[in-house]
Amino acid sequence: MLFTISSDDQFELRQESFLTEMFDAINESTKSGKPEPSAQASRLSVERVAEAKLPTEIGEFRLIGYRSLTSEEEFVVLARGEFAPNEPTLTRIHSQCLTGDVFGSTKCDCGQQLHTTMRMIADAGRGAIIYQQQEGRGIGIINKIRAYALQDRGADTIQANEQLGFAADLRQYEQCGEILTDLGMKRVRLISNNPAKIQALTNCGLEIVERVPLEIKFYRSLARYLKTKREEMGHLMSLPEDIYDQSACASLPSV
């Protein structure tokens, strides 16, 4: 069963092997020398430290490594094509999700979102994914496993984080906006259902000209997670009405 995470096709804004290989490649490239800083580097709280080609099953991308100047955080940009300020560009900020991106978990839609976005960008010939090291909405992989155990016992994704002593979402996206600016973007076609990402990029001076919906496959194990994201976290998504019908959900694939 397929459904689209979207409330409107367009709108005017008013208001995480694969991972190890990626970061090892960037660290190795860093040792061989950093690229020249951009003209506006002195105004940024991130620095571009490495770049290399990355052939994938979907096509060839550029792998660009950034490092925060204010924390230990590192960022990977998966880019294709050339960017120009006046050209609306497909963009996604993707929070690291080892379980979904690498292991194919159906407890979340992260892996589907990442791989679908890569295909969309390859088809368009231009775009970028900022892969941000904020596993488990910022709590890290070990705490995420602990949160999963609490979900197995009945907690939803927000309750699990809070029971571990964390806020529902610890992620910040402002430096992602700086990275997009450093890449030469000004106008963005954002692939996201998260209003916090939309607001953060807008605050960085980027123009969100379109919110691009993603089509993913629906699994029974996704039902409560997606409902929580929409109802408790304000994510902009349309869900099939039978997501609220437990008997209907029971008939959907579990894997």
Residue 116: closest CA among 255, 2, 230, 239: 2
15: number of Cβ within 10 Å = 6
| CB distance 134 to 171 below 8 Å | yes
Chain Cα centroid distance, residue 84:
22
Structure tokens at 30: 């860093």
| CB distance 239 to 246 below 8 Å | no
Q: How many residues does the chain have?
A: 255
Q: Which residues are catalytic?
A: 169, 171
Q: Which is it for the CA torsion 93, 173, 30, 142, positive or negative?
A: negative
Residue 32: closest CA among 46, 19, 51, 45: 51
- Cα 44 to Cα 2: distance, rounded to the nearest angstrom: 40
Structure tokens at 96: 């690291």
| CB distance 127 to 79 below 8 Å | yes
- Cα 242 to Cα 177: distance, rounded to the nearest angstrom: 37
**How many Cα atoms sit within 13 Å of 71 on the Cβ side?**
8
